[in-house]
Structure 1
Amino acid sequence: MASSIRRRVAGLKEKIRLHGDETQHEQTDHWSNRDLIPLPPHRRTWGWFHFYGFWTLSSLNITNWQTPNSFLTQGLSVGQSMAIIIIGRLLIVGFSTLIAWCGLQWHIGFTVQNRYTWGMRGSYIPLLQRILLNFIWNAVQCWNGGRLVAVCLTAIWPSYAKMNNFLPESMPTNGSEFVGFIVFWFVSTPFLWIRPEKFKIPFLVTSIYCGCGMLAMMIWALSTAKGVGPLLYSGASVPATSRWNDSWLMMASINQMIGGIAAGITNGSDFSRYARGWKDYVIGSITSGWITGVLVCFVGLVTTSASQKIYGEVIWNPPDLLLRMMENGEGTSAARAGVFFLAFGFALTNVFENICGNAVAGGIDLAGLWPHYINIRRGAIITFIAAWVVQPWQLVNRAVTFILVLSSFSVFLAPIIGMMATDFYVLRRRRIQLSHLYRIHNTSYWYCRGVNWRAIPAWLCGWAPTIGGLVVSVRGDIDPPRALQELYFMAFFIGFSISAVIFYVLNLLFPPGGLGDYETTDVYGTFTAREAEKLGVVPSSDSLENHDSHYATQEVVQEKT
């Protein structure tokens, strides 16, 4: 009986075990599978518009629309708020490119990238942090998307908003919001089957649809209000009793902007490795991550200012504004139709922002834990199912403090980013040994029992000075020590710098083997002939064949065109 059960279990494990094409170096073992190996040329399909669309997901969304609100409510002027946004978005693109360059040059993702910094086993430390954030933020995004779905359903059936609440009183939400969450979750799920190589059409649709929707909202608001409202011309109004002047508030706001997307900065190489070339990544990032991001904030500011003139109050949240637009239209079919298509555009962007930024990223990270059984698709499905375990309705509607902690998680991520940058650019001079990242014997990256002990104190020292400020902010202390708050206002820059310096010094005092070394042979067929020549690497026959096939296909397409 026992032997029969063992055979069945062994058979089941073999069925769900992943298998790759060994001729394409897609070996599946404890450290590798098809989604973790360095991407070969034929799988690098992202051009500049892919990255434009990728960054659009973090630009054309509700959170970015509402960004000026958090600065204006502190008493800063419109000019100061827009200056913060311009500087903050530029720094975000800069730090993202800094970390993503490893993926552009060596075509590996965050999961593998950390192995040479932390060690093969030590890389689980940043990996587990990312997995936790992916689970929680995916759930929160599903809930926010569900609220937009509720707006769409209300636009179709006005009685939907008045439906009886069938949930128990212990749940801090109502039936209409919960049904919206269910619909959003189920509608999003099929898109998990799209591989990152095929994201061009979703990026194209969301960029055009949501961009046009935002412009339409602004044009409607300006037309109805017959001009811009008073909010746009508001000056600085920092209370005289405030402990902070304009400079400190602007510093804290810039830190807040970068920290809010720190999780996306850390795994930039997960997506940059799909680039056809570094120019595609840089052009797409600057045009969308910076320019479009700034424009969306300005559009949100103008629309909110005009709507204040219409309704007599400031409404920053687009779903609330859309519902108010329906009320003002007295429930006419034209008003409801307009609101539906606008809410649908926001919801569509939310779908792909969540899938790309949380589900797919979570899939890649989970693949690093169990490469035998989890690939991007399976990991993304697990991340999505976890939304029901996380129960976002408890977090968003009740635990405001918990969301504040999540938003401040950059306190722990900034030191990781600083170590990654120092290790790649300064210590290794952008040279790594690819095959050493996928084995534990005869490798430079095993260190001491699989852990690079130098990374531990460098990481701890990076967040130790700023954790006190995080604690007093979360507790809401009335009169916390000023020094703790000042450190917290610069948490990202302090954590990045301290960990970078300490990690550098420790590696100088106790140098590990393999610093600056790289393989002169293209073991995985990763590089094109041009890339191999530039790196001083002998290309494999596989990469040459893929390179020739790729360009031959391009020539055929050009001839047909």
Structure 2
Amino acid sequence: MSFLSKALRTLEVPVSERETLSVLQNPDLQPIKPQYRIWGFWSNFGYWGIISLSMVTWLSASSSLSLGLNVREIIGAYILGDLLTLAFTLANSYPGTDWHIGYTVCQRISFGIYGSGLGILVRVLLSIVNAGSNAWMGGLATSLLLSAWSPSYMNMSNTFSPGIAMTRRDFVGFIIFQIICALCYLIKPHKMNIPLVTSCFSCFFAMLGMVIFLVNKADGYGDLFTLETELKGSKRAWTWVYIITIWFSSVSPGSTNQADYSRFASSKTKLWAGTVLALLIPTTVVPLFGVIGASCTKAAYGEQMWVPTDIVLYWLNQHYDAATRCAATFIAFAFIYSQVCLNVVTCGFAGGMDLAGVLPKYINIRRGALITTALSFAVQPWNFYNTSSSFLTVMSSFGVITTPIISIIVCDYFIIRKGKYRISHAFKIKDSDYYYTWGVNWRAMVAFVCATAPGLPGMAWQINNHYFSNAQGIINFYYGDTFFAFLISFFIYWGLCLWKPVTITQEVDKKDYYNAMTGKELVKYGVEPCDEKSLNSSDEVEQISTHLEESKINRILHRFHK
């Protein structure tokens, strides 16, 4: 064996004797077994709740207010955006809950064994961008915590150039936060449920305490709530649509790879209940907290502060006493905890799951998460929060690319395949139903391009308003891209599948090759157990065998009658 072969063998993902490793498969990509499906109501609430109970959502209303609507209208648009997000997310959760597979495998089934690379690449890039963004905010919280502990750290001199949009103090906090996240990748993804739930509660009470203090300090809610919009007619209506699009786009990466975490759910009912409440309550309350904070700081301190850590730093600069330092420590810890959970689960692990599908022999979830974290430095996230416009541009651009992917997966699962996957064919090339044409499902590719292309000129206009400034139709399409892109990709893909149907040689596997199904699921899909020892009892084996035999007889009789 050559030196290169030995080196590559050393780099391979470690597996046990009973686990499979190939160019398309490692244990992290296979359907997860029942003992790992432990996420109940609170776990699913925590997963989606942490997206809202974070520093980014606190300051999200600042960008929306710059568009000209008043606070009431913004919150109303957010609620409509939540309902749209719920529809997309819950529909996209079924491959995970039904077949216990993640986003990478869904991509192989819908886009083809090789065509899946497109959706995986998109999701990896979004994970890297979001990882940088969340880590920067977490770094600010880390810097706040160290400032509460050490006055010399808080007053650290800035040796960076004025052209760099950060201070040395905040950069140190950013590096420390990234190290904390890297250590958290030692935890298994399905075991992050308890940290998610506890971080949601700690962050909520920290935010609530800040708001109560600020309202008392300002003797009211300030004047932001009294501002009225000057927008009229269609301009006002399209701004509503745009805010809905922004709101969905900001969470669309999580909706896109929903299967990665819906596969951990212990039941669909608990998944639905937890997700619905998390996407309706915190997403409404936290932006309101941000508006109240900015309005009250303007009234009390003469300066409108949107970033929550800036508010606490102001308190420390005014009164560096024991009480203020104690409050700052609790608030900073709560923000660090929530940002760590948010970054690890929705960015690090998500990127790791996707990268595991690129090189399964050499990358598992943990290694992929570390790669995602390392690459997040390259996006220079400290520039995201310079102005509301740059933040808005980043948020509103995600949906242009992610919405068609969600739409195609949903159409393929419910309309084309009627909720049935042949999982083993997602891990093979030769004679695979999901190989399509040279490994690519051209129907999905055409639908994706047709839905994505119309939104690209609007993205260019958002970056530089001199482009297409006189083409209001292009701008309006971009504003409503979430609605338009979903419908375009959905119906084009459906139409192409009607014109040139996909080949389905067999709807589901004959056996549960991955021991991932419960007894009820084996009966539901007419699948035989691969390993009878994995079942609960001999009675269950006999019951399943009886049901399978009855279903075979019924199919034979049905064909005979035809």
Q: TM-score, normalised by structure 2?
A: 0.90
Cα distance, 1:457 vs. partner?
Answer: 1.5
**Structure 1 letter corresponding to 2:322:** S
Is 1:513 equivalent to 2:506 in the alignment? no
Deviations 1:15-36 (A, max 9, x none): 231243454xx31111111110
| 1:41 and 2:34 correspond | yes
- 1:453 has 2:442 as partner: yes
Give the match for residue 9 of structure 2.
Answer: 14
- 1:200-211 pair list within 5 angstroms: 200-211=193-204
Q: Is the 8 A contact 2:246 2:395 kept in 1?
A: no
- Partners in 2 of 1:41 and 1:469 — Cα distance? 45
Unaligned runs of 5+ in 1: 1-5, 549-561
Asked whether the 8 Å contact 2:186–2:366 carries over to 1, the reply is yes
Question: For residues 21-72 of structure 1, what are the alpha-carbon distances to aligned partners after superposition, in whole Å with 9 as ceiling and x for unaligned?
Answer: 454xx31111111110011111212111111111121010122122333333
Amino acid at match of 2:445: I
Could you state the TM-score of these two structures normalised by the residue count of structure 1?
A: 0.90
Q: Which residue of 1 aligns with 2:205?
A: 212
Q: Distance in 2 between matches of 1:166 and 1:300?
A: 31
1:300 equivalent to 2:298? Answer no
- Find out whether 1:408 has 2:397 as its counterpart: yes
Query: Alignment identity in percent?
Result: 31
Deviation per CA, 1:138-196, whole angstroms, max 9, x where unpaired? 12222221122222222222333432233456644321121111111122221111101
Within 1, Cα distance between the matches of 2:533 and 2:365? 24
Q: Any residues of structure 2 matched to 1:180-219 within 5 Å, and which?
A: 180-219=173-212
Name the structure 1 match of 2:427.
Answer: 438
Structure 1 partner of 2:331: 342
SS at match of 1:508: helix
What is the CA–CA distance in structure 2 between the aligned matches of 1:438 and 1:182, rounded to whole Å? 38
Q: CA 1:546 to 1:175, structure 2 compared with 1: closer, same or farther past 3 Å?
A: farther
CA contact under 8 A between 2:33 and 2:515: conserved in structure 1? yes
Q: Once structures 1 and 2 are overlaid, which stretch shifts more, 378-387 or 292-301?
A: 292-301
Letter in 2 for 1:446: Y
Corresponding residue for 1:382? Answer: 371
Q: Is 1:467 aligned to 2:456, yes or no?
A: yes
- Counterpart of 1:535? 525
1:427 corresponds to 2:427: no
Matched letter for residue 119 of structure 2: P
Instruction: Give the 3 Å change call, closer, same or farther, for CA 406–237 of structure 1 in structure 2.
Output: closer
Cα distance, 1:501 vs structure 2: 0.8
- Asked whether 1:254 is paired with 2:244, we answer yes
Q: Could you tell me whether the CA contact under 8 Å between 1:41 and 1:543 is conserved in 2?
A: no
C-alpha contact (below 8 Å) 2:63/2:389 kept by paired residues: no
The amino acid across from 2:476 in the alignment is E
Give the corresponding residue for 1:89: 82
Q: 1:432 touches 1:516 (CA, 8 Å); kept in 2? A: no
User: Where do 1:131-210 residues align within 5 Å?
Assistant: 131-167=124-160, 171-210=164-203
Shift >6 Å, 4+ stretches: none
Task: Judge conservation of contact 1:525–1:543 (CA < 8 Å) in 2.
Answer: no
Q: Say yes or no: does 1:333 pair with 2:333.
A: no
Residues 422, 507 of structure 2: 8 Å contact kept: yes
SS for the counterpart of 2:451 is helix
Structure 1 residues 308 and 397: CA distance shift in structure 2, 3 A: closer
Question: Per-residue CA shift, 1:483-528, capped at 9, x if unaligned?
Answer: 1111111111111111111111111111121188223432221110
Partner of 1:231: 224
Counterpart amino acid of residue 12 in structure 2:
R
CA contact (8 A) 1:172 1:398 kept: no
Give 1:337-376 correspondences, 5 Å limit.
337-376=326-365
In structure 2, the gaps of 5 or more residues are 539-562
Range with bigger deviation, 479-488 or 227-236: 227-236
Instruction: Report the counterpart of residue 559 of structure 1 in structure 2.
Output: none
CA contact (8 A) 1:37 1:108 kept: yes
* Amino acid paired to 2:65: L
**CA-atom RMSD in angstroms:** 2.5
In structure 2, how many angstroms separate the alpha carbons of the residues matched to 1:295 and 1:92? 17
Distance apart, 1:406 and its partner CA: 6.3
Q: What one-letter code is carried by the residue in structure 2 that aligns with 1:490?
A: G
Distance of 2:158 and 2:431 partners within structure 1: 63
